[in-house]
Amino acid sequence: MTGPDNADRKSGDTGNWRSEIGPFLTMGMELAFAVVGMFFVGRWIDSWLDIAPWGMFGGLLLGVVGGFIRFFRRAMSMGTGGQAKRGG
């Protein structure tokens, strides 16, 4: 008997969506943590060296650039099936 909950599921397909969406969620979290983390490192540098707001801007810029580089490298390796990581 198939109800509305089981109509879209294939047999043996339970839990598979988690493994498919997991890498994408990880990439987004890494990008967000890089930006926010470097922002706060920049604020700490501001208070330490008394150069506000330049440390905050520098940290934010480093976080955005570094986060996007990491994001795009992982996205490209996922798009090629991981061949970029294996070297060919």
Contact 58, 46 (CB under 8 A): no
Pairwise CA distance, residues 68 & 61, whole Å: 11
* pLDDT digits (tens), the chain, 88 positions: 555 555 555 555 567 888 888 888 999 999 999 999 999 999 999 999 999 999 999 999 999 999 999 999 999 998 886 555 555 5
pLDDT on residue 68: 96
pLDDT on residue 71: 94
What angle, rounded to 10 degrees, do the helices at 16-49 and 54-79 form? Answer: 160
pLDDT on residue 17: 83
pLDDT on residue 8: 53
Would you list the domain boundaries of the chain?
22-78
- Neighbouring CB atoms inside 10 A of 63's CB total 22
What residue type is 78 in one-letter code? M
